[in-house]
Amino acid sequence: MKLFEYIDRISIINKLISERRTGTPDEFAGRLGVGRSSLYEMIDELRSRGAPIEYSRRDHTFYYREPFDIRIMCSFRNLTLAEMEDFSGGLNFFCSVLFFRTERYEFCQ
């Protein structure tokens, strides 16, 4: 699954659970565009990270047993020239392990 699609889906899950408007598991899965088993996998993942998610059979909705919120933050920025020079993307490690920095592989120096 694409990262931003996953983040959006988690945000929607959090909003609907917070508002107690998920509906039944089948309805909730349908709103998210996933199958019921995928919904339960996502809920289990959130629970493993501390989300106190419960289901009310009387109200037909998932809810948080206690106050809880999910915040996902991501930022983007251009690298400075100095940062670009420091960034090797693993090239130094790759060269030292595989080529032992021999002169034959000048791109590793």
DSSP character for 24? S
Q: What three-state secondary structure class fits 66? A: coil
Q: What is the pLDDT of residues 36-92, one digit of tens each?
A: 999 999 999 999 999 999 999 999 999 999 999 999 888 889 988 888 777 666 566
Q: What three-state secondary structure class fits 62? A: strand
Q: What is the pLDDT of residues 85-104, one digit of tens each?
A: 776 665 665 566 555 545 55
- Domain limits of the chain? 3-64, 81-109
pTM for this prediction: 0.69
Q: What three-state secondary structure class fits 55? A: strand
Total residue count of the chain as it appears in this document:
109
Cα separation, 15 vs 47, in Å, equals 16
What is the fold, at CATH topology level, of the domain defined by 3-64? Arc Repressor Mutant, subunit A (1.10.10)
Cα separation, 44 vs 59, in Å, equals 21
